[in-house]
Structure 1
């Protein structure tokens, strides 16, 4: 299915010291593998490519820390990293800086992948990475409790607030939580709230701040009021993905916003058989998730770019993508896997997940994304901790973002 050749590795890599024809041992740098499924896939490659073995280098779990380590390595023009596991929002920044090399589109079956995911791997009309996993936020809920109350899962914020308040009190559970520690996860949760209220943060090309103060304040108030009214617990202010996952699967939460990777562990927890997932709620109906995921790129300073390219082709192939789902509980990027009857029987959430991915929006696309995210998470954290009203927060945020975007 995949064509051979290496024509897509461009001159930029050669100019900056990489080796487009280089083969040999490689290092794959990516975020911490919390489910342990990556190493077995690498082992399969290593057994059949003894002269081109891959060493897995696990970076910290938090995306901010992963990026910091990668950037430090690339700014030093180090050849230590060969294959990079990039958060989908880093493509523009890394490509613009010349840290990753462009790839030949014809070498990858892009037409069989989910289109919104493919878009995250493009920059300035060129393919700079290959989609590996996708992601879209889902609402996890206690199906056993809603069934007992003859209720359907909430589609709107008002329904979520009502059920979280009433049922949380009745069943002695906390109502709802997302990822509200001031880091990248909070930027994601805020972006989803803004989108689900009908707004957006930046224009699609990342050149203009399009934050509507009304919809942004409405989205932020959804979270602020939840904390103020108590149906979002104060503990959630310290939650990242793992903390919120554990709180839900330990039976402490009625509702939780999380990524699909939390589904597998929950089926082996105290709430196995008692939960389900649905699309995130919004202001007036189903909301819009943030499009997440991981793309694989080749370092411009790698001396083994030919090997790295072949490894990426192997790692993103159909059978490995199936294992991404079955062994890692991560959403694959091949569209046909979401329509596989056997997989749907095993993972009944797949149709909902596909809907969520296809209707999701990427985080603000900008070569200055790290600055954008830091400003957003800091400002939103102040509002959630009741240090500044929502309307003042979004007004100040819009001004700060405008200054970042205008700065050369």
Structure 2
């Protein structure tokens, strides 16, 4: 992965053509995005295809994991291939793809950005230009079993005490997140640092701001959970789907996951499932802002159709379907205040608060390298805790991150 990043092209972010055929092309397009685990996408695409028989869209499903999606997209774009027209990008990829000339800037006036959640819009901007359009948002939530938990925890100490008690009494796992060494672990650790009052890298990606003591506190929270057994060791191999299944199958009392896990959990557990904000060191914590943006490949031969498709796909009507049929958080603010939707999706008020208090990941063309260092450092200490202190691990991580930023 590191080699892929280092081999990235050097086209400037100001090169609006990017090597493609311009924005005037119309015709059939492809939509490359992560695997559709809820089978909601194709019906939405069918609606477009019925109305645009000469400009049909074909779904190209990429792997589920965000870093694997990125690897396939980068390989395609470095080859200047026109295979992908519309790209479903993790929100962290805007800066990298724009800086390398792999996507084209879009006209802000074509999209109702003022009606979107403000933090979400920020993820689509880079150097003053709009490079993508927000499609889904995301913030981590704490899922819990209402039949096992009287009052959801607001702090790490409360989570630890409840998880330990439930593990001992009911012989099930206490708590899990996404702890495999991939982007999900970077997110989970970032949330722990944020929820302890710190941050890892400045928002503009130009400075490592991790305080080793705060980072050590965040690491200790996870390390102690594994050592004490209320974080099950098998969760060190969990990505989103594994943690979702473990919770909805009754193997966990608490789980950190994205909102898409709510529907399946509700179907399996009924009223036994609820969600709240992530806990923090001294009170409610802070999630990492997630989600997906839609961008147009600089090498697409049908860029005009691609942009029109994005307008369709991010419309208010379609965003409602993204929620009701896919269980993914929409980007239109008004949908979070819709009484009918709240009745159907009771977590919407909590999710809106979580998104508005979430922190975006650094805007950096080298974000992938930063993430690799974070995930590998945390995975190593969780999988094989050593006498080395958590503060020392955090200090070492900080040094590695500073080296990446110095050389960018």
Structure 1 position 306 matched with structure 2 position 304: yes
Per-residue deviation, residues 1-39 of structure 1 (Å, max 9, x unmatched):
xxxxxxxxx983435133310000101000000000011
The structure 1 segments of at least 4 consecutive aligned residues displaced by more than 6 Å after TM superposition are none
Q: TM-score, normalised by structure 1?
A: 0.95
| Shift in Å, 1:72 | 0.4
1:371 to 346, 366, 369: 369
Per-residue deviation, residues 49-88 of structure 1 (Å, max 9, x unmatched):
0000000000000111100000000111111100000000
Alignment of 1:127-206 (within 5 A): 127-146=130-149, 151-206=150-205
CA contact (8 A) 1:13 1:20 kept: no
The 3 A distance-change label for structure 1 pair 288 and 315 is same
Distance 2:302 2:24 in 1: 7
Distance 2:76 2:42 in 1: 23
Distance 1:371 1:120 in 2: 19
Which residue in 2 is equivalent to 1:222? 221
| Shift in Å, 1:209 | 0.5
2:295 to 291, 297, 300: 297
CA contact (8 A) 2:26 2:55 kept: yes
Structure 1 position 92 matched with structure 2 position 95: yes
CA contact (8 A) 1:140 1:277 kept: yes
Structure 1 position 323 matched with structure 2 position 326: no
Distance 1:17 1:353 in 2: 38
Q: Which runs of 5+ in 1 are unaligned?
A: 1-9
Which residue in 1 is equivalent to 2:64? 61
| Shift in Å, 1:267 | 1.5
Q: Which runs of 5+ in 2 are unaligned?
A: 1-12
Which residue in 1 is equivalent to 2:402? 402
| Shift in Å, 1:273 | 1.6
SS of 1:86's partner is strand
| Shift in Å, 1:195 | 0.2
1:341 to 339, 342, 351: 339
CA contact (8 A) 2:96 2:367 kept: yes
Structure 1 position 25 matched with structure 2 position 23: no
Give the root-mean-square deviation of aligned CA atoms: 1.1
Which residue in 2 is equivalent to 1:392? 392
CA contact (8 A) 2:18 2:104 kept: no
| Shift in Å, 1:168 | 2.1
Distance 1:78 1:116 in 2: 32
